[in-house]
Every structure is written in C-alpha cells, then in structure tokens.
Chains A and B, each alone.
Chain A
Amino acid sequence: MPPDIEAIAEQVFTALADPSRRTILGALASSGPATATDLAARLPITRQAIAKHLALLTEAGLVVAEPGERRRVRYRLQSAPMQLAQQYLAALARDWDSPLDALKAHLNR
C-alpha cells in the first residue's frame, strides 16, 4: 500500500467537511473549470473566501490551477483524490456481516 494513500483520503474528507468548499467542489464538478471571479458571481461566498478555499483545495490536490482566458487562472476539479477517498468508503460500506448472516440462515433452513 502506498504510504500516502490515507493522507490523501484524509485531505479529501477535510476538504469536504467545510460547506463552502463542498459548494465550490460541487460547482466545479457540475459546471466545469471556473475562475475565482466566476465562482464568486455564482455562489453565495465572498471572493476572498473563495480564493482562500481554492488555495487550500489546490494544496490538497483536489483542484488544479490552469491558464484561462484573459490571463485569468481557472480552477479544474482533480478527480483522482476523490476516487481514492471512494475506495476508503467502499471498504467501509462493504457489508459482509449481513450476507454471512443470510448464508447461515440459508444453511440452517
């Protein structure tokens, strides 16, 4: 197992724990890459707060900054860490207890 796999999942969960960051990630997921100005116009979050959250999300590798039109920086959702966090959730969600109880009940019938 790569040593940083858990650290990456943790960053995803930390990012998602904040409602403003969830809103920003949701906007990038549904409408594609956007500049901080675009996001401020669309979301009920101040331009300053958006810039702060985008910096944190970039640091965590959840969004990536890329050159956009008119020399503005656009932010694009980086899905790899989310997929990794999904693996974590898949392990927690894999329920063996219920089917094994059902197997036992089936054999005892």
Chain B
Amino acid sequence: MRHAKPGAVSRRNFLKGTATGAVGTAAAGGAAAAIMSASGAASATASAPPKGSSYPFYGAHQSGILTPPPDRKQAASCVAAFDVTVGSRSELADLMATLTGTAATLTAGGPPAYLGLGQPPSDSDVLGPSMPADGLTVTVGVGATLFDSRFGLSAAKPRRLTDMPTFPDDALEDAWTGGDLSLQLCAHHPDAVHHALRLVMKHARGGMQLRWKMQGYASPPRPAGAGRNLLGFKDGTANPTGSLASSLAWVTSPAEPAWAVGGSYQVVRLIRMLVEFWDRVSITEQENMFGRRRDSGAPLDGTVESDIPDYPADPTGAVIPLDSHIRLANPRTAATASQRMLRRSYNYDLGVDANGDMQAGHVFVAYQQDVARQFATVQARLAGEPLVDYVQPFGGGYFFVLPGVKDASDWYGKGLLS
C-alpha cells in the first residue's frame, strides 16, 4: 500500500534525518514500506472495526466534510495550517505523497511497524500499541499562496481561491491567519487528533512547517438536537443535509480547473467569544441577537428547534429581529438558497487573555462549492450584526480541499501536480 509518485527517486530535504519519513516515496524501501504494509487499509478492513471506528480514506471526495456529516461529526478536531518549505514542484509532489501515505495509515489504524532497535520507534504509542483509527478523518486543503510563483501553479489555481479577506469586524492576526496547506483532523477523542498531527508532522518534517493550529471539541446534544456553542446556543440546526449538502459542498463547475472537480472550498474562522461579557447580557438581548431561544433552539417565532422561521409573516422583525444572526445568515429566500454552506464547527478553549478573561471561542469551518457565492456573500450580510460586540474573528483562512484520493495509486493533488 504505497503512494507512489512516478519519478520520485531522490531523497528530499524534508525527509532528511527521518528514516520513517519516506512512506510516500516510490524509491523508499525498507522501513517505510514496512510501515505501510503493516498498517494499511487492507489490514484494517480485515480486522472489521466496529461501526464508526473508521471512515473511508479513498473516494471521489475527502472524508471529514460529509463523511461523517456535520450532525454526526467526531467529537474532537484540530485545524492546522502549514507553510511548505520545499523548493520545487517535484518536492511538493513528494510532500503530498508523503502526507497521503501517513493519512492512509492513520485513518485505517492498526499496529505500527516494528523498526528494530536501530532507530526510534515508528509511532509515539500515544494511542497504544494497536493504534486504533478512532474515527479519524484527515482533510487536506491548499491555500492561495501555494499558487504563487514558487511552484508554477498560478494557472491551475481554483477560480475562487484567494487569501481570506479582512471582513469589517475582523481583527486578524498574522500568526493565526493563512497558510499554504490546511489540515483538518477529526476523531472521536482528542488523543487521536494529537497523535495524528504528530505523526503527520514527523513524516513531513522538512517539507512543511506549522503556521498555526487550533484544537476543537464538539458539544454533545444538551439535551437534544444540535450541539451548543460556548455562547450557550445550539449551533448547526439549519445545516443542509443529504443531497442538498452534496449539491452545495462539492465543486462541479466546468469553469474550475479540471483537477479541482470533487474538491471543496474550505473557510476556517477562528472566532474568540467574549464569554464573560456575554454572560452579563440579558436573556432577551441574547435571544434577539441570535433569533433563537436559548433553551430550546427554536426560532423566536417557533416552538421547537426544527421549526422553520416564517420571515414573510414577520416583515418588520417584530418577532425575529431583522438584524438577528439567523435571519441575516439565511434569509430563506429563493435568491439566497444557493448561498447556504455546510458548517462543521467546533468549540475551542485556550489559555488566559491579557485582561484575565478566558480565551475561548469557536472554530468555524465551512465547506462550499463557491466561496464567493456562499461564505463571502453571507459574511458581507452579517457585517455589523449586534453579535459582533461579543465575538472577535482573529484568524483562519481560505483553503481549497483537494479532491479525494481515489485509490492506493493516487495521492493528494496528483491531478494538480502531475
């Protein structure tokens, strides 16, 4: 189970000094091949893992977007952005092949290879000796900067891919924004996310460097329905599902480069929530800002979470304010239906702010087939909404999630880089 890139015969800088790093290269023998054969998808399938313990790695689309879907997303996540440090297109291809091999290994699970006494162990054992997949999905995206002059890729850039613009209420910090590559890791437990990031970086050490990362956790239903964000409100209630979700998520347009079909535009927004301030605001004001009841998640004109708000019956916003978050985000008109997107967001908790407040917030992650038509349009509509006093977007980025890895001979971005 090797992710061969034809022509990759020399050792790359990013592999130097890491004997286990050669998993993705055709020429690499010995140790690398051993890792793959010991823990590849075939052996994982044979061991018949319990349902949900692993998700498919190969397919037309990457997992971690609709597999599993947002309403059944794994409990733990990390979004990491990297800058690539390789010097040529062929080295970039090798890096992507390496990433592919590691991701295939991790998502399948299975005992790591024994490398003998002559080198450090192949795996950290953070997940123990059997290295379960733990529902891991690995979702790889590329940023607009990858298409600059370094690799001669500018002509192949997805049509809508740009750096994330600064929206009117943003306070973007360079240290938390952008990147050449994005890596979304989701698993049932946080240790599996940590383990995956660590192994991915070990194998790709010389080829890419971590720019920023944010771990996240999903809230279970409290007591039912969509999980709650750290403002106490249910989040994701109106997420598209089923075929609607598919039709909104995947790039199909013939106007896009052929290699990009099957990919998806990923928007990551790191949003600090000023939870101390929020907790000092009346329930009525909180509910008017969202447009939903806090307890039940029902729209303010409804009874239960799944009720559809009836905006035509409330043209002046007497019940659901015109500037409430749900009304601005999704006006539920024919004209705005194609602007909907798939949100797959998590909560985060970090340390302490300079003023003694908790650092906590929301890792907003959205997928769509056209970032200009979908996220950017909705975000423009949300500019200045009352909620902005309580949240501060400070990082993230626009990325393009590569089409799926079709089979063991394919690798991330093969269509782009071959």
Q: Do chains A and B stick together as partners? A: no
B-to-A contact residues, CB < 8 Å: none
A-to-B contact residues, CB < 8 Å: none
